[in-house]
Every structure is written in structure tokens, then in C-alpha cells.
Chain A
Amino acid sequence: MLSAILFSIGAVGVLLRRNALVVFMCVELMLNSANLAFVAFARANGTLDGQVTAFFVMVVAAAEVVVGLAIIMMIYRSRRTASVDDASLLKL
């Protein structure tokens, strides 16, 4: 339940915010809420597999944060902004 609420908040954040950094944090929040669901279901089902999955999700999230922040830094260096709206070079 809490996991669902947190996931929804994260999704709303991704939709609403325009600072790329904050959007990124919201994505992290969604990943974490999924982790919480994994842990809770692992306990309910009586196996540790859910916890292992949550562990792998954490590893992937860490890698994703590193690459994502590097990309944000690069965009910021070339554009001097961290707003999602300004990355519109592909637009006609």
C-alpha cells in the first residue's frame, strides 16, 4: 500500500517537475517503492528471492544514477540549463 502511494508520488513528480535533477530523484523514488513491494512480498511468500531481486534493483539503480547524472552534467555544460524543456533539439 505504502509502496503504491510512493510509486504514484514518484510518477506525479516525473510528470510535473521540469528540473531534470528532480525528475531523476522521482525516478529513484519509484524504484525504491518497487523495492519495498519486493521486500514485503518476499516476507509474505516466505522466500528470500524478493530480497535478492530488490538487491539487484539497487545495483542497477546505482549504475543508472551514475550515468544519468553524467548525462545531466553534459547537457548542463553545453546548454547552461538543467530544465527538461530546453532539451528540444530534436523538435522540428
Chain B
Amino acid sequence: MTGEAWTFWIVAPLTVLGGLGLVASRKAVHSALWLAVTMIGLAVLYIAQDAPFLGVVQVIVYTGAVMMLFLFVIMLVGVDASDSLIETLRGQRVAGVLAGVGFAVVLISAVSRAVLPEPVDAATLSPIGNVEGLAELIFADYLFAFELTSALLITAAVGALVLTLQPRARRRKTQRDLAIERFRPVDGDFSAAAGLPTPGVLARHNAVGTPALLPDGTPSEASYSRVLQARQSLASPAQESDDSEPER
């Protein structure tokens, strides 16, 4: 067997295995990983078939960009979103497998009966080199199709943005709104007009987690970070006084 045949018989079963795993695995993440196996296998096969440019593009576009997109969406939708095994249409699974196998048999028999010319080597395929040959074709013979794909890509990008755009739930506060909020308090209390005390004032650290201390040593509630308070990760005042005491 030639080197190419070895490559084919090693990589092809792996690729088929990836496809089977994609269909058979319950969780979407596992399916995505199996798909990545298939894509890499296909890239190797492209390179083995004198299409190095397509092989590299396959790795970049599919295993890079497309799989990344898939994984992003899976993470957004929920990692453990797995299929339920209940059949909604009775017999759908059996019928699906039967149809698939039948289709495969028809396709394979048709392909195996076809008389193919002897494959040519890379030099006759493109005498000036693969990438150069492809470029000559794309930018000369297929120029119109190439320009169309650029329009298609732009449309797709804009379409994805439009589809996933979410309108703001509330209007964004302008500087004017913020100023009014500060200088027109509801209960006539102007103590916040000069700004709230920043965290860490008079305390040992100026980290956000350390509340500002009032003159009597108690933490000032106005300096609490609301986010940290909700997470309960504020430095406790007791601990604060503990480790500041001996050094002073």
C-alpha cells in the first residue's frame, strides 16, 4: 500500500467514528467534540488528496471558527441540555435508521459502479502549485462567485447581529439624570451631594471589599459595594479592626 492509502485507512475510520459519535452521543457538548474529530480527520484527508490549501482552511474555518461558535452557543443554551429519549413520533427512530442505511447502500453502490479515471498527481493537478492554481481560478474564472460570497458573508454577519440584538430594558441614565438624582434627594438629605464615601477610607486597605470607616471605627454603610454585599464577600469590620489594632 502506498503512503496515501495508509493515511486513508487510518484516518477514514476515525472520521466515520466521529460522525457516529456525533449522532449517538446524548449531550450536545459531546456531539460537538465528535464533530471536531471528524473535521480534523477530513482536513488530513484533504491534505492527503493534494488539496493542502483546503486542508488548512478546513482546520481554520471548521475546527477553529465554526466549532468555537457551536461551543459558545452550547454554553449559552446550557451545557447539560440533552435529548429526551421519548419518541414523539412513533417508530421515527427505526424509520430514520432504515432510511439512512438504505440511502447509504444506494449511494455506495452507485459510487462503486462508477468508472473513475486514474487519479493524477499534484504536479499535473496544478503545475504552478496548489495555492497559486486555486488563486488563478478564484480570481479569474470564479471572480463573480467570489464577489458574491463576500456580499453573502457581510449579509450573514449583519443578519446575525440583527437577530441577536436585544433592545435595552431601561433607558440609559444620562449625566443630567445622575446629577438630578444626586442634588434633588427625595427626603431632603444632601449628605450624598459631595459623593458617597469611597471604600477603604480610613481603613487599612483601599480595596473595594473594605468598607470605609466612620470616625468611631464602625464601617460606613454608604461605602458598601452593592455587588459585593450581595455576594457576601465584604471584609468584615471585626476582622478589619483585629488586624489593624496591633500595628497602630
A interface list, Cβ under 8 A from B: 1-2, 4-13, 15-19, 21-22, 24-26, 28-29, 32, 35-36, 39-40, 42-49, 51-52, 54-56, 58-67, 69-74, 76-77, 82-83, 85
- Contact call B100/A65, Cβ cutoff below 8 A: no
Contacts A13-B22, A59-B152 aside, 17 further interface pairs with beta carbons under 8 A come to A5-B108, A7-B107, A9-B100, A16-B96, A21-B31, A21-B70, A22-B31, A29-B35, A35-B42, A51-B134, A55-B57, A56-B146, A59-B149, A62-B66, A62-B153, A66-B160, A67-B156
- Contact call A21/B58, Cβ cutoff below 8 A: no
CA gap between A1 and B8 in the complex, in Å: 12
- Contact call B97/A12, Cβ cutoff below 8 A: yes
CA gap between A72 and B163 in the complex, in Å: 10
Knowing A17-B23, A72-B73, the reply to whether A32 touches B39 (Cβ < 8 A) is yes
B interface list, Cβ under 8 A from A: 8, 12, 15-16, 19-20, 22-23, 28, 31-32, 35, 38-39, 42, 45-46, 49-51, 53-54, 57-58, 61-62, 65-66, 69-70, 73-74, 76-77, 81-84, 88, 92-93, 95-97, 99-101, 103-104, 107-108, 111-112, 116-120, 124-126, 130, 133-134, 137-138, 141-142, 145-146, 149, 152-153, 155-157, 159-160, 163-164, 166
Pick the contact of B108: A1, A61, A67 (CB < 8 A). Answer: A1
CA gap between A85 and B43 in the complex, in Å: 34
Across the interface, name the chain A residue whose C-beta is closest to B30. A22
- Give how many A-B residue pairs fall within 8 Å (CB-CB): 212
Across the interface, name the chain B residue whose C-beta is closest to A85. B88
Interface residue SS majority, chain B: helix
Knowing A7-B107, A8-B101, the reply to whether A52 touches B70 (Cβ < 8 A) is no
- Contact call B125/A46, Cβ cutoff below 8 A: yes
CA gap between A46 and B116 in the complex, in Å: 11
